Chain A
């Protein structure tokens, strides 16, 4: 049995002490004795010294045994307890300790076990609460999803960078009609998690709406929202309502904006019908007014008693003719009249000062001319489509700068009756009526940007007027816009502070955390990037010798998740024969590609689909070669960053012999479905990529740049096509 060193030391000290005590006692006794007596004692004791030594040794043994017993009882028991407690600490669930020790340590063991049991209960509680909470969140998510799915309106939620976070089925359908290539990508190139909303809407327009919401918030408006109507690339007219999504602080108050909700409505048809109705109404009122005027004048003339007979006949003829034309007009009107429609161009209530400020900023930014605001009257509220209005003013200022080199502008707003006059004033040059007329009627064009709108359209949209006027005395000229003012009630609604926050609490997700990184793409973390994983099927292996793409399939990975529903799959007519030998490989026959779009039509849709993402393919160099050979025809340069799962697999598993897709999929235990269709292979490649990601990260390869550099160093990268 091993002795504790402390125990040995203690026994040694006691042995030494008793020896010293014995010698001191003998010494003292000896010093009191006379020399004869001392000699006598020594003589008597000398033969018995062994006996004294033995009693000392026995005594020492007894002391040692006692010490050892005490030590085991009081020092090693706590040590055992420590070990047992450590076991408890590490165990997921505490078990009672079988502790052999003193009364005190047994009691201690008992208390420790109780503490551990308490810990276990608390732990279970927390877990139960977490489970409950996440169940609640899941429930809310499902409820929100159900709600969104039920909505007949399209809803898209974006973060501040315009990245789509949420959208509903209705929005998906809506975007399909907006897509320039609806049959190719069915709108998936426009709407999708993580995609930019600016592919659909002008960035300026969204920024403008956000800005006016900000202004309203800063003025204390309760539920600030903005709306605008815009035409899309495909020529559709969309009415968009925007509501901000705001962060909430600890006290539950809404704070800064972290994103926005867009509710979209396609008003193209409604607007066309409305326009037709307006025209009809217009012809009825104005036409009737002239007819009535003609009749009245004629009747007045007929009332003269001295009217000669031929004259009388002529006036009567006028009356007959006009009555007939009015009846005809009304019949025409009732035939054409459409059902009552209410889709007026939506106007929003805005403080006049805000409109002027926005206009000032726009003109200063574009034309680099200083614009001053005159007598800002904060009491004037306008009912306007502020985007198109500021656009019109901006346009006129731009024309003035371009053609007459006007240096300074002033903006003035004044109430005049129930309308407001907004003047864009400059000094100097006046212009001819023809010039004004042409500026009014030309489509507004800013450099490369052009809109189908004219200044006249904008004015008519507001039910207002616009003209050019001169003040000769002051050598000034101005364009005056007559604009509708907001009613008092509307002003109230726009400013009212609503205390009850009736916002449904569906906003528990951390959807608004991700914001655009300022890093260049190269230095972004792989885990943050969006990927388009794609594959092509081709007529053969030699793109430079006339082989062509016959199918493209692609899937998206956003936030580390494969979005199977947002995929791209398209057969392509290669414009040549598919060699019979290759048909068993890809399963695509000549009949299947007949009537399919040509590569020049498919690539633009694929290009939009892959916009803002990193391209991933297995043996990417091969597929990229096909895409690059098309650059000359389509003008589309696929300069996206590219990652190759073949090379990256070689980075992760350098010892493996095969890096074919099947081999890797088998290694990662990925179920392969639909292999050798482009989309099937793209899905497998995507799964492979998602499994390669953590392995790369474990090797310290976390950014796009690192991944590309690592791939370049592998043996396979040196093979050339």
Chain B
């Protein structure tokens, strides 16, 4: 079965590229446009991996991350945080709150695809 990836970002201009890229790589892709929707979809769809943007309406990526990690049922969900915040303090916070990896925008899609493959490969 295809592995399922949730892309949670409120910017359609990045979502379109990520969706295309990941589908091409053979994953099933679902989309969330804000923090709350992301949380709901994670609980419902149990994706293998979440590409989580930090700056989102309703709930920030940090909050989503913390709530996912607080729920034992979602232990298997991997989180890759994507953010335009370049500060090292954000990186430290994201990692501390339970993100498995962290990428700062802009990034090359090849690196992203590689990282996603690595993270999902580990889980198997």
Interface residues of A (CB under 8 A from B): 285-287, 289-290, 292-298, 300-301, 304, 311, 314-315, 318, 321-322, 416-417, 419, 433, 437, 463-465, 467, 469, 480, 482
CA distance A304 to B11 in the complex (A): 22
Question: Are A301 and B109 interface neighbours, CB within 8 A?
Answer: yes
Question: Are A294 and B90 interface neighbours, CB within 8 A?
Answer: no
CA distance A315 to B20 in the complex (A): 10
Give the residues in chain A near B21, CB-CB below 8 Å: 297, 300-301
Question: Are B17 and A298 interface neighbours, CB within 8 A?
Answer: yes
Question: Are A465 and B89 interface neighbours, CB within 8 A?
Answer: yes
Chain B: minimal CB distance from A576 (Å):
60
Instruction: Please tell me if B92 contacts chain A, counting CB pairs below 8 Å.
Output: yes
Of the candidates B11, B85, B96, B97, the one whose C-beta lies within 8 Å of that of A294 is B11
Question: Are B20 and A293 interface neighbours, CB within 8 A?
Answer: no
Counting from the closest, the 7 A-B pairs by CB-CB distance are: A297-B17, A293-B105, A289-B84, A465-B89, A300-B109, A292-B106, A293-B106
User: 26 A-B pairs, CB-CB below 8 angstroms?
Assistant: A286-B84, A289-B104, A290-B105, A292-B105, A292-B106, A293-B82, A293-B84, A293-B105, A293-B107, A294-B14, A295-B106, A296-B106, A296-B107, A297-B14, A297-B17, A298-B16, A298-B17, A300-B17, A311-B20, A318-B17, A417-B88, A433-B63, A433-B67, A465-B90, A465-B93, A467-B62
Question: Are A300 and B110 interface neighbours, CB within 8 A?
Answer: yes
Chain A: minimal CB distance from B102 (Å):
13
The digit string for B62-78, where 1 denotes a CB below 8 A from any CB of A, is 11001100000000000
Instruction: Please tell me if B108 contacts chain A, counting CB pairs below 8 Å.
Output: yes
Give the residues in chain A near B92, CB-CB below 8 Å: 416, 419, 465, 482
Residue of B nearest to A298 (CB): B17
Question: Are A318 and B16 interface neighbours, CB within 8 A?
Answer: yes
Residue of A nearest to B109 (CB): A300
Give the residues in chain B near A292, CB-CB below 8 Å: 105-106
Please tell me the size bucket of the interface on B: 20 to 34
Give the residues in chain B near A298, CB-CB below 8 Å: 13, 16-17
The digit string for B17-57, where 1 denotes a CB below 8 A from any CB of A, is 11011001000000000000000000000000000000100
Give the residues in chain B near A480, CB-CB below 8 Å: 96
Give the residues in chain B near A318, CB-CB below 8 Å: 13, 16-17
B82-124: which residues lie under 8 A (CB-CB) from chain A? 82, 84-90, 92-93, 96-97, 104-110
Question: Are B96 and A297 interface neighbours, CB within 8 A?
Answer: no
Give the residues in chain A near B90, CB-CB below 8 Å: 465
Give the residues in chain B near A295, CB-CB below 8 Å: 106
CA distance A482 to B86 in the complex (A): 15
Give the residues in chain B near A285, CB-CB below 8 Å: 84, 86
Give the residues in chain A near B67, CB-CB below 8 Å: 433
CA distance A419 to B96 in the complex (A): 15
CA distance A433 to B16 in the complex (A): 31
Interface residues of B (CB under 8 A from A): 11, 13-14, 16-18, 20-21, 24, 55, 62-63, 66-67, 82, 84-90, 92-93, 96-97, 104-110
CA distance A290 to B20 in the complex (A): 18
Give the residues in chain A near B16, CB-CB below 8 Å: 298, 314-315, 318
Chain A: minimal CB distance from B109 (Å):
4
For B17, B88, B105, B107, which residue has the most chain A Cβ atoms within 10 angstroms? B17
Chain A: minimal CB distance from B106 (Å):
4
CA distance A285 to B66 in the complex (A): 26
Q: Given A286-B85, A298-B16, A318-B17, 8 other A-B contacts at CB below 8 A?
A: A286-B84, A292-B105, A296-B109, A298-B13, A300-B109, A463-B87, A465-B89, A482-B93
Give the residues in chain B near A464, CB-CB below 8 Å: 89
Give the residues in chain B near A469, CB-CB below 8 Å: 96-97
Give the residues in chain A near B13, CB-CB below 8 Å: 294, 298, 318, 321-322
Give the residues in chain B near A286, CB-CB below 8 Å: 55, 84-86
Give the residues in chain B near A433, CB-CB below 8 Å: 63, 66-67
CA distance A296 to B89 in the complex (A): 25
Residue of A nearest to B97 (CB): A467
Question: Are A482 and B89 interface neighbours, CB within 8 A?
Answer: yes
Give the residues in chain B near A293, CB-CB below 8 Å: 14, 82, 84, 105-107
Residue of B nearest to A434 (CB): B63
Give the residues in chain B near A463, CB-CB below 8 Å: 87, 89
CA distance A290 to B88 in the complex (A): 17
CA distance A464 to B62 in the complex (A): 16
Give the residues in chain A near B104, CB-CB below 8 Å: 289
Chain A: minimal CB distance from B64 (Å):
9
Give the residues in chain A near B105, CB-CB below 8 Å: 289-290, 292-293
Chain B: minimal CB distance from A433 (Å):
5
CA distance A311 to B16 in the complex (A): 10
Residue of B nearest to A430 (CB): B70
CA distance A321 to B110 in the complex (A): 23
Chain B: minimal CB distance from A624 (Å):
61
CA distance A296 to B105 in the complex (A): 10
CA distance A417 to B91 in the complex (A): 13
Question: Are A290 and B11 interface neighbours, CB within 8 A?
Answer: yes
Give the residues in chain A near B82, CB-CB below 8 Å: 293
Give the residues in chain A near B17, CB-CB below 8 Å: 294, 297-298, 300-301, 315, 318
Question: Are A290 and B84 interface neighbours, CB within 8 A?
Answer: yes
For A294, A295, A298, A419, which residue has the most chain B Cβ atoms within 10 angstroms? A294
Chain A: minimal CB distance from B36 (Å):
13
Residue of A nearest to B112 (CB): A297
Chain B: minimal CB distance from A473 (Å):
14
CA distance A298 to B108 in the complex (A): 10
Question: Are A437 and B63 interface neighbours, CB within 8 A?
Answer: yes
CA distance A294 to B106 in the complex (A): 8
For A293, A463, A469, which residue has the most chain B Cβ atoms within 10 angstroms? A293
Chain B: minimal CB distance from A371 (Å):
23
Residue of A nearest to B21 (CB): A301
Chain B: minimal CB distance from A281 (Å):
12
Question: Are B108 and A300 interface neighbours, CB within 8 A?
Answer: yes
Question: Are B11 and A297 interface neighbours, CB within 8 A?
Answer: no
Give the residues in chain A near B88, CB-CB below 8 Å: 417, 419
Residue of A nearest to B85 (CB): A286
CA distance A287 to B97 in the complex (A): 24
CA distance A337 to B14 in the complex (A): 29
Give the residues in chain B near A289, CB-CB below 8 Å: 84, 86, 104-106
Question: Are B89 and A297 interface neighbours, CB within 8 A?
Answer: no
Residue of B nearest to A290 (CB): B84
- With contact pairs A289-B84, A294-B13, A297-B17 given, residues A304 and B106 touching in the complex (Cβ less than 8 Å): no
Give the residues in chain A near B24, CB-CB below 8 Å: 304
Give the residues in chain B near A296, CB-CB below 8 Å: 106-109
Residue of B nearest to A311 (CB): B20
Give the residues in chain A near B18, CB-CB below 8 Å: 297
CA distance A268 to B105 in the complex (A): 35
Give the residues in chain B near A300, CB-CB below 8 Å: 17, 21, 108-110
CA distance A416 to B93 in the complex (A): 13
Give the residues in chain B near A437, CB-CB below 8 Å: 63
Give the residues in chain A near B11, CB-CB below 8 Å: 290, 294
CA distance A416 to B91 in the complex (A): 13
Chain A: minimal CB distance from B41 (Å):
18
CA distance A469 to B92 in the complex (A): 12
Give the residues in chain A near B87, CB-CB below 8 Å: 463, 465
CA distance A297 to B93 in the complex (A): 26
Question: Are B96 and A287 interface neighbours, CB within 8 A?
Answer: no
Question: Are A467 and B107 interface neighbours, CB within 8 A?
Answer: no
Give the residues in chain B near A322, CB-CB below 8 Å: 13
Chain A: minimal CB distance from B90 (Å):
7
Give the residues in chain A near B93, CB-CB below 8 Å: 465, 467, 482
